[in-house]
Structure formats: C-alpha cells, structure tokens
Structure 1
Amino acid sequence: MTTLLVLGAVFIFATTTFLASPASDDLVNQTGQLTVFWGQHKDEGSLREACDTGVYTMVIMSFLDVYGSG
C-alpha cells in the first residue's frame, strides 16, 4: 500500500512538473491537444472534474488493483 502511495505521489509530481513547464505549452500550441492519465486517487479529484476542466483533449483512465506481490 505504501509503495502504491509513493508511486502515486511521484506520478502526480511528474505530471504536474511536466504540465507546468514552458515546453508543454509549446507542445499544446503546436498540436492543440493535451492528454492526461487519470486514476482514482483521493487527491486527484473525480473523473468528471478532470473532463469538465476543458483542458484535456483526451483523458486516459488507469486502474491498478494489485501492485507487486499483492
């Protein structure tokens, strides 16, 4: 469980860092599209909230019910 929380925190940090970088703005402006991975995590908000922001062209849903040796 702790490993899953750490991986989730790393993913959120990496995603936030990438999305906040100037390079990501350039990529969005070039393609007009932005995709994000969404997984059920208490700090992540609901899928509806992610979709309703209007920021993302595509939301990829990701679920992990068992990690490592279970």
Structure 2
Amino acid sequence: MAKPPGREVLLEFQRVGMYMKAIAMDPETLTEVTVLGPLTHSQEMLRRTAVAKLEYVLAKKASTPPR
C-alpha cells in the first residue's frame, strides 16, 4: 500500500530488545501509529505495515462523525 499522493508520512525505527518498532506519523493530523516486528524482518516490510496501519486509522477517523 502506498501513501496517498501529496501526503507526507514521518517514519521512525527503534530497536526494542529482539524487536524493531516502526512509528508512522501524519504531520497534518498529528496521528501516530506503531507496529512491532522481529529483527529478522526487513525495514521495508515494517514501513509498509506502518503506513498501511496509518492509512487505516486516518480512513476510520474520516468516516467517524465528530462527537
């Protein structure tokens, strides 16, 4: 899954013990998501997973009416 055209996504990777933590953030809405994966997986796989999760959360927020 690719990021939407024109939308910036900030990514950060941190090693946490035997895992790699990928953090994706949308700077426009300040929405942040985190995914964890084993060190044996590539950063590219974690990046795609984090961006897909961010897109899911942003779409869910867009379809939910404000309270």
TM-score norm. by structure 1 comes to 0.30
Indicate the structure with greater helix content: 1
Indicate the structure with greater strand content: 2
Larger radius of gyration: 1
